[in-house]
Chain A
Amino acid sequence: MSDMDDMDDGSGVIKKFMFLNRKAPHGTVYALEGLEVVLITAAFDQDVSMVFTDDGVYQLLKGIDSKGIEVKDFSKTYRALEGYDIEKLYVDQASLDARGLSEDDLIVDVTVLSVPEMANLMAEQDVVISF
């Protein structure tokens, strides 16, 4: 990821980008490839938020071990997000509840929001990209 520093589209415009992560970390490639877009967007110095909802909350689960399915475990990347100035991580309360999870089960510090709070946050964004 070292080639991503100092990217710029030349306009100096900073928009609010929200990335909506809806899928489990494994089973499909959406979480892994979605993370790539998040990191590139941060390299463009944009205002980045990440939301984890539905099975997307599993992306942040502690203790993921993907050895048995022989695919890369990229969950450590979420811990490195701070280094890319990506600090706005939001998790949907109802999605945690439905899966019997709490904040303590997650590998990073997040802000847990209710559905109306999430809707308000979403309404503030310029760009919402859903994976």
Chain B
Amino acid sequence: MQFGILVNEGPYTHQASDSAYLFARTAIEKGHTVPRVFFYHDGVNNSTRLATPPQDDRNVSARWSKLAADHGVDLVVCVAAAQRRGINDDVLAPGFRISGLGQLVEMGIQYDRLVTFGD
């Protein structure tokens, strides 16, 4: 099954991004595909490479980047939401790209399921 994933909260304060990551990783492990993850609202803050969490904590953006590198997951950050929050190409972690909301709608149209992670 093809899963599209929507992440609506930023890292660390809310669990949404962690849950989305674990869902995506597990779905792939189980033989499903996750062609794209879309980051909206404060979810765009998952895409910065400038975050430096403590060594003994998970690195949320780096973890997403690795998922993209290992499984070709397309990590898309909403441009309008990103611009509001100071996220641009200069700060993006590997595997993320900035694009429009059309990419989210396409997931709903094309994939078997669209799963939202947020509050």
- The answer on a CB contact under 8 Å between B41 and A33 is yes
Judge if A121 is at the interface, Cβ distance under 8 Å.
Answer: no
Interchain nearest-CB distance for B102 vs A (Å):
6
**Which residues on A sit within 8 Å (CB–CB) of B80?**
33, 36
Interface residues of A toward B: which range?
20 to 34
Judge if A119 is at the interface, Cβ distance under 8 Å.
Answer: no
Scan residues 66-119 of chain B and give those whose CB is less than 8 A from a CB of chain A.
Answer: 80-81, 100-102, 104-106, 108-110, 114, 116, 118
Query: With A and B bound together, what is the CA distance between A82 and B110 in angstroms?
Result: 26
Judge if A123 is at the interface, Cβ distance under 8 Å.
Answer: no
Please tell me the number of chain B residues within 8 Å of chain A, measured between CB atoms: 18
Query: With A and B bound together, what is the CA distance between A11 and B116 in angstroms?
Result: 23
Interchain nearest-CB distance for B49 vs A (Å):
24
**A11-B109, A33-B40, A33-B81 given as contacts; is B114 within 8 A of A129 (CB)?**
yes
Judge if B60 is at the interface, Cβ distance under 8 Å.
Answer: no
Interchain nearest-CB distance for A15 vs B (Å):
6
Query: With A and B bound together, what is the CA distance between A127 and B8 in angstroms?
Result: 16
- The answer on a CB contact under 8 Å between B105 and A40 is yes
- The answer on a CB contact under 8 Å between B40 and A9 is no
- The answer on a CB contact under 8 Å between A9 and B101 is no
Residues of B within 8 A of A (CB): 6, 8, 40-41, 80-81, 100-102, 104-106, 108-110, 114, 116, 118
Q: Give 3 closest A-B pairs by Cβ, nearest first.
A: A127-B108, A40-B101, A9-B106
